[in-house]
Amino acid sequence: MQTMKDYEEWHNEALAQKVVDRLRRNGFDAFYFGTSGEASSWIRQQLKPGIIVGFGGSATVRAMGIREMASEAGTLIADHGKPGLNFEEKMTEMRRELLSDVFISSANAITLNGEIVNVDGYGNRVAAMIFGPRQVIIVAGINKIVSSEAEAMERLKRKAGPMNMKRLERKTPCTGDGYCHDCDSPDRGCRAYTILRKRPALTPTTVILVGEPLGM
């Protein structure tokens, strides 16, 4: 007998496969995995000893344990989120990420038409997705899929922006009531907006969709 979980898994895969097809039409490599464990196994195969692996400050990537996996694989880690870094050290790591062999991060939203929508404060994450690393891997949970660019922007205001500001302990209006105010706070993290409608011409990019809710 079919259960609610069976129907949910079917729906996740059907939706994700549509997005995978659109992403491929837009020039990206794209794959769907039902679980984060399956996705992690694929990513692990890309991590060779001695390569530089950069990380873009993603809650999704952190939850999947990919940084630890990269370390165990013998890669060289470029990660501005390492504990104990002062400001200058953090800036150095951000620049190393831009020249990594593999840059791994997530997206704030991915549309049904295969467009990747992000917002950044410093711009280091979105910059690395566009040019610099030899390979980019974007991993996103099923919860990041939206119907359109307009819905993606709404998701940034309603959820991703406020939750990330709360995570980063920023003093912004959205950390008070949970919704974007388009503020002028010096702590504002919503500064650089990008939409990748096609794969950047010189940046091999793989998008991994996972049939689980991941990240913010």
Cα–Cα distance, 54 to 69 (Å, whole number) = 13
Q: In terms of residues, how long is the chain?
A: 216
Give tens-digit pLDDT for 40-61: 999 999 999 999 999 998 999 9
Beta strands, E only, 13-115: 29-33, 52-55, 76-79, 102-105, 109-111
Amino acid occupying residue 76: L
Q: Provide the β-strand partners of residue 146.
A: 111
Question: Looking only at Cα atoms, what is the longest distance across the chain?
Answer: 59
Domain extent listing, the chain: 4-146+197-210
The answer to whether residue 150 scores a pLDDT higher than 90 is yes
Give the class (CATH, top level) of 4-146+197-210. alpha beta
| pLDDT score at 156 | 93
**Under the phi-then-psi rule, with left for phi > 0, alpha for psi from -120 to 50, and beta for the rest, what region is 132?**
left
Q: Are 26 and 198 in contact, with CB atoms under 8 Å apart?
A: yes
Cα–Cα–Cα angle for 85, 88, 92, nearest 5°?
Answer: 90
Beta strands, E only, 121-181: 135-141, 145-146
State what percent of residues in the chain have pLDDT above 70: 100
The answer to whether residue 132 scores a pLDDT higher than 90 is yes
Give the residue-averaged pLDDT of 78-93: 95
Q: Provide the β-strand partners of residue 76.
A: 52
Measuring CA to CA, which residue among 106, 60, 52 is closest to residue 79?
52
Beta strands, E only, 97-191: 102-105, 109-111, 116-120, 135-141, 145-146
Give the residue-averaged pLDDT of 130-153: 97
Cα–Cα distance, 105 to 93 (Å, whole number) = 15
Cα–Cα–Cα angle for 54, 115, 8, nearest 5°?
Answer: 95
pTM for this structure?
A: 0.95
Give the residue-averaged pLDDT of 99-125: 97
Q: Provide the β-strand partners of residue 208.
A: 31, 139
* Per-residue DSSP letter, 202: T
Give tens-digit pLDDT for 65-77: 999 999 999 999 9
Take residue 85 and report the two structure tokens written for it. 């870094």
| pLDDT score at 1 | 79
Give tens-digit pLDDT for 167-204: 989 999 999 999 999 999 999 999 999 999 999 999 99
| pLDDT score at 4 | 83
| pLDDT score at 117 | 98
| pLDDT score at 88 | 97
Measuring CA to CA, which residue among 128, 70, 120 is closest to residue 98?
128
Say which residue the tokens 């504002």 belong to. 188
Q: How confident is the model at residue 5 (pLDDT cuts 50, 70, 90)?
A: confident
Q: Are 172 and 188 in contact, with CB atoms under 8 Å apart?
A: yes
